[in-house]
Amino acid sequence: MNNNNHYPFELMPLPYAYNALEPYIDEKTMRLHHDKHLGTYVNNLNDALKDYKELHNWTLEQLLYYSDRVPEKIRTAVLHNGGGVYNHNLFFANMSPEKPQSNAAGNLMRAIDQSFGGFDNFKTEFKNMALSVFGSGYTWLVLNDKCKLQILNTANQETVLPQNACPVMLIDVWEHAYYIKNYNVRANYIDNWFNVVNAAQAESNYNQCVKSMRCGC
Ligand code: MN3
């Protein structure tokens, strides 16, 4: 996140055009999702932090992980809106118009094979988890605190940071992520989303997680 690591947080531009993920994810959804939904989380997070100078050099991760040290008056606002910024930045970076190389023999693919018995099994399990989110939330592939790949769900704008899990990839299953194109049919959105997963980013996240969690040491 570099220059966007602390207050005032900025709305990071999409790393591709709004229509780049067509026909899988439509331009109108991307414009609303990025500019309006994420934009609002960024503004509300900055509003909440405005009068708390002691928090202005905290990173987003610190605000979310050490939320018990954030003054109670703004804690909920920081968790909701900071989580919204954190999750959406990861989500948008984890998509790409580049075709995923399905036979890519990266470290993540090997780990998925070992953990789930192949990519198809992983995909089925991930999709079922994403279908099982009741209401609004996310489905994640993480490296958990035991250095194992794990699929898990979080509600609303909760992150996986309190679980000491390191995010590899995630799908936003709030209705705003898919309703315009897919109406109520979340399954179609999940199938479409798999076509625009940024495999290179997921591989890089995975390698970073292995390194930062000192797995294998
Ligand atoms: Mn969203």
| pLDDT tens profile 193-203 | 999 999 999 99
Give the pLDDT confidence score for residue 1 in this predicted structure. Answer: 42
Query: Which is more confident, 169 or 1?
Result: 169
| Cα 88 to ligand 1 centroid, rounded to whole Å | 6
Share of the chain above pLDDT 70, in %: 96
| Cα 82 to ligand 1 centroid, rounded to whole Å | 13
Quick count: other Cβ atoms within 10 Å of Cβ 134?
A: 7
Q: How far apart are CA 150 and CA 157, in angstroms?
A: 19
| Cα 124 to ligand 1 centroid, rounded to whole Å | 22
CATH for 27-93 (2.10.210.10, 3.40.1280.10, 3.40.50.970, 1.10.287.990): 1.10.287.990
CATH for 107-212 (3.40.1410.10, 3.55.40.20, 3.10.330.20, 2.60.20.30): 3.55.40.20
Pair 95, 196: CB distance under 8 Å = yes
The pLDDT mean for the chain works out to: 94
pLDDT in tens, 133-154: 999 999 999 999 999 999 999 9
| Cα 41 to ligand 1 centroid, rounded to whole Å | 10
| Cα 216 to ligand 1 centroid, rounded to whole Å | 34
Helix (H), strand (E) at residue 153: strand 149-155
Give the pLDDT confidence score for residue 3 in this predicted structure. Answer: 52
| Cα 200 to ligand 1 centroid, rounded to whole Å | 22
Q: How far apart are CA 155 and CA 67, in angstroms?
A: 17
CATH 3.55.40.20: which residues of the chain? 107-212
| Cα 7 to ligand 1 centroid, rounded to whole Å | 21
Q: Is 80 exposed, middle or buried (0-12, 13-18, 19+ CB in 10 A)?
A: middle
CATH 1.10.287.990: which residues of the chain? 27-93
Give the pLDDT confidence score for residue 4 in this predicted structure. Answer: 72
Q: How many residues does the chain have?
A: 217
Distance from chain centroid for Cα 137 = 10
| Cα 24 to ligand 1 centroid, rounded to whole Å | 16
pLDDT in tens, 17-62: 999 999 999 999 999 999 999 999 999 999 999 999 999 999 999 9
